[in-house]
């Protein structure tokens, strides 16, 4: 029974991200999400009592997924620094799809307080990176450069072609690995 609830929740979150990406920020409706997920609106509301709770769960899932991917990468390549793994994962996320996280805009439009868990996550991650990276200058340059690349991708204003992005990421990894 618990597994079924989890699967419904996951289906709803996946559908919500898809609907937000396709319909555009701010146009997410619970009816559209329920239809896409193949659940009744009551089933959606059982899992997420409001649109705000649904958007909050999307933000939390995004952050948890990124954290898990970072831990998995760290375990798979223990000789790589946390910073190198973070750079690689962030660059990969930017390359996978330009509109993958456009639902973030929907969440922020719904409630600007959804930035709070993102800020907290980023701050905690930065502190971990700072503790793990012996040179603060290296961290600042590489972290801010990859976050700039992420912002360009998120806002669909990426000015770099594929070769330039690869050169940037390779350079950042080279700097990070000292």
CA distance 152 to 88: 16
CA gap 66, 135 in Å, rounded:
24
Supply the mean pLDDT for the chain.
86
CA distance 139 to 11: 37
CATH number at residue 61: 1.10.357.10
pLDDT digits (tens, 9 = 90+) for 83-111: 999 999 999 988 775 555 666 666 676 67
pLDDT at residue 2 greater than cutoff 50: no
pLDDT of amino acid 152: 86
Among 22-31, 91-100, 169-178, the minimum mean pLDDT is found in: 91-100
Over range 117-134, report the average pLDDT: 94
Q: Which of 161, 40, 23 minimizes the C-alpha distance to 105?
A: 23
- Quick check: helix, strand or coil at residue 38? coil
Cα–Cα dist 176/85, whole Å: 10
Tokens of residue 3, six digits: 């597994």
Query: What φ, ψ does residue 27 adopt, rounded to 5°?
Result: -105, 15
CA 19/CA 21 separation, integer angstroms: 5
CA distance 171 to 150: 16
**Tokens linked to 73:** 């990468």
Distances from the Cα of 107 to the Cαs of 70, 80, 116, 123, in angstroms? 23, 34, 12, 20
| pLDDT at position 55 | 83
Question: Which of 43, 37, 17 is CA-nearest to residue 28?
Answer: 17
The total of structural domains in the chain comes to 1
Q: In which domain, by residue range, is 66 found?
A: 2-177
Q: What is the pLDDT of residue 1?
A: 34
């Amino acid at each position: 029974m618990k597994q079924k609830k989890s699967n419904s929740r996951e289906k709803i979150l996946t559908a919500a991200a898809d609907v937000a990406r396709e319909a555009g920020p701010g146009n997410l409706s619970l009816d559209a999400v329920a239809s896409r997920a193949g659940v009744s609106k009551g089933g959606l509301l059982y899992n997420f009592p409001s649109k705000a709770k649904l958007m909050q769960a999307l933000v939390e899932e995004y952050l948890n997924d990124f954290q898990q991917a970072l831990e998995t990468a760290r375990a798979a390549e223990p000789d790589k620094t946390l910073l190198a793994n973070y750079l690689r994962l962030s660059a990969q996320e930017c390359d996978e799809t330009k509109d993958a996280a456009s639902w973030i805009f929907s969440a922020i439009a719904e409630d600007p307080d959804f930035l709070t868990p993102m800020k907290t996550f980023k701050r905690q991650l930065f502190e971990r990176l700072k503790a793990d990276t012996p040179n603060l200058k290296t961290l600042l340059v590489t972290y801010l450069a990859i976050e700039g690349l992420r912002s360009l991708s998120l806002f669909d204003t990426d000015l770099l072609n594929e070769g330039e992005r690869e050169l940037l990421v390779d350079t950042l990894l080279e700097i990070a690995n000292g």
